[in-house]
Structure 1
Amino acid sequence: MAITKEFMKNSLKDKSVTWTEFLKNVKHSNSIHCFFEGEDAKYYLDRVEEYTSYSLSDITVYSCDGKRNLLKLHKKISSYEEYNALSKAFFIDKDYGLETIEVDDQVYITPYYSIENFYVNQNSFKRLIIKEFGINIFEDDFKKVTEDFASQYKEFLKIISPLNAFIYSFLKAEEEIIIDKFRLADFIDIKVDTVIKLKDTGFDSLKTYYKEKLERDITRRKQHAENNLNKFNAVIDKVENDFFNNLQKVLDNKETLTHGKIALFFLIKFIEDLKLVNKKSNYFSRKRQSVYIDIQSNNILSNLSQYAQTTDCLIFFLKKYQHVAKEEIMS
């Protein structure tokens, strides 16, 4: 669904909790007001503090419960001239880049699907290995594990790309897909030295898998189950017609078109197995002591934030707020 002018016009009537919260906080004129889709603040806050002139105590945080709510709020705040002087920053995920979004220079859009993608790359993994496993960059173990990470991630992306294309095709057909229905562990097994496909990821297999999950919801009398299946049946032919073209697009743009949660799944499983083989002393040249990284935590975005990539475009975006803060301090 495109973010149209009519959509934004109607959004101004919305009386959201975040809007009410903002109205209470506007008196803090020396703050930078930061708006996030959800828990993204766990990634962004340290970077806002580092690259702007604002201390953590002067950063006011808002969770908007999704991109569309954030964009509604951005449009609403921008419509009031009295708020123009406030320092405001809005952070949204690019997702698959299918929405038509008109934004100004107060909105940062990730260059990849979402911030989760910032966590899964070679440089981030190297920092994690050095700090969490105590492996020096000049050691053979460092070379071994970083090469295995790169190799297995490449194979993982190749195997899982059809699922990304399947999801992409639904959204391109302007139909929501319940991504949580896909249990990735059903399709792929990730170890430090190999990635094994457990289930076919071709279109027919994904179609059958997803449809069975929707039908199971009906038998379990889950809310909206019948409506979800009807929407699936209405759009699946269009999805199939576009699938193979979309798959090629995903294969050509794996970094930007891999769903963030899918990428993070790989990182979690890889480190999980790395901890296991280290504990059994059958991977590294010696057992690495004091490895306490909590990869299964619900707070993983905070736990691993220090290792996540900080893109040049994000740094450039945040540095724009340096002179603003200095002017406010001087006045």
Structure 2
Amino acid sequence: MSVENLRKARRSHVVAYTEFTRYYKSFPFALYCFFEGEDSKYYGIRIKNIAKPRKYFFLPCGGKNGVLKIYQIISSEEYYKTSKTAYFIDRDFDESIYKKDLDSIYETPCYAIENLYTSCQCFSEILRDEFKLVDGGEDFLKSIQLFEKLQTEFHDAVSQLNAWAACQKDRNVELKMSKWSICKFVKISLDGITKSYSLEDLHAKVKTAVVLTSDEILDKEKELREKDPQKSFRGKFEIEFFLKILRKFREEARKGNPIYFSEKINVLLSLSDGNTISELSQYAETPSCLITYLNQFCDV
């Protein structure tokens, strides 16, 4: 078995359930949190600050289906009826689980937790705390204006990509997009965002993709854009764009490029690919629905 497959095996819902049953024997009062993967990097601090559990366990389940399977197993067993279990999943392009009355599970109000990191509000807070810019100052306002412009251009560029992916999801086509980089589809710079893909490119990338009509894709684009694209578009693409733009701002700030900043700024953020969710967690949004969900687990 490969190293990657071993990692996946350790994160499976079967392993999560086995660990849960073992821990529960000693700690029946603990809060057990089941995640798709490493989502505790976002949820962890919020669970501690809002629910304030005396003891807790974070258990990765190897994906969304793993969390749903764990929920089905535990909720069907009388022995665990009084257990404190919390379940967290991303909405993705799927139909909301709340239409199936699965209120015991928390589903993001956007595509995924990554979307909670990429709003203009998050960017503003990073400018204040990490770039030390004065709220309302010239450099601050100029940076916000540029970010909003670039994010709008980005959404225009990836609208067709998101619609195509959502349509394929509707047709039950497995895209395996986890390793897709947005840089394969758009060119990102502070000068502007340029689309660099076609529908033919997408079909060439996924041999099993269903051929879609232009009307199908346009209808799906309209559906996604009726919501805020920053929330409804694929989260991994959103945060990759956000991270690349933030790195470019950091680079220009360190140089003190007068086009963007009036003086040099020593920005200490590392902004590494593998640590973004942890490093920027304090700036990510905490939706009111998450607060409501976690409040039910507060120890009294």
Tell me if TM exceeds 0.5. yes
Post-superposition offset of 1:99: 6.3
Aligned to 1:111: 109
Trace 1:126-275 onto structure 2 (pairs within 5 A): 126-180=124-178, 182-192=180-190, 194-200=191-197, 205-206=198-199, 208-214=200-206, 229=207, 231-232=208-209, 235-237=210-212, 242-253=216-227, 254-275=229-250
Aligned to 2:92: 95
**Greater relative contact order: 1 or 2 (C-alpha under 8 angstroms, separation 6 or more)?**
1
**Structure 2: gaps spanning 5 or more residues:** 1-11
**Structure 1: gaps spanning 5 or more residues:** 1-13, 215-228, 327-331
RMSD of aligned alpha carbons: 2.0
Could you list the structure 1 runs, at least 4 aligned residues long, displaced by more than 4 angstroms after superposition: none
Q: Residue 34 of structure 1 aligns to a residue in which SS?
A: strand
Post-superposition offset of 1:148: 1.4
Separation in 2, partners of 1:64, 1:15 = 4
8 Å CA contact retained: 1:43, 1:305: yes
8 Å CA contact retained: 1:35, 1:90: yes
Amino acid at match of 2:233: T
Aligned to 1:33: 32
Post-superposition offset of 1:198: 4.5
Cα distance per residue 1:72-91 (max 9 Å; x no partner): 11010001111111111100
Aligned to 1:85: 82
8 Å CA contact retained: 1:116, 1:260: yes
TM-score normalised per structure 2? 0.88
Does residue 295 in structure 1 map to residue 293 in structure 2?
Answer: no
Aligned to 1:42: 41
8 Å CA contact retained: 2:13, 2:60: no
8 Å CA contact retained: 2:157, 2:194: yes
Q: Residue 89 of structure 1 aligns to a residue in which SS?
A: strand
8 Å CA contact retained: 1:117, 1:260: yes
**Match 1:310 to one of 277, 286, 289:** 286
Does residue 285 in structure 1 map to residue 262 in structure 2?
Answer: yes
Separation in 2, partners of 1:65, 1:196 = 34
Does residue 67 in structure 1 map to residue 45 in structure 2?
Answer: no
Post-superposition offset of 1:296: 2.4
Does residue 51 in structure 1 map to residue 45 in structure 2?
Answer: no
Post-superposition offset of 1:250: 1.8
Cα distance per residue 1:54-110 (max 9 Å; x no partner): 15xx11110001111110110100011111111111001111133666354321110
8 Å CA contact retained: 1:35, 1:62: yes
Separation in 2, partners of 1:307, 1:319 = 21
Q: Percent identity?
A: 30
Which protein has the larger Cα radius of gyration, Structure 1 or Structure 2? Answer: 1
Aligned residues between the structures: 284
8 Å CA contact retained: 1:113, 1:256: yes
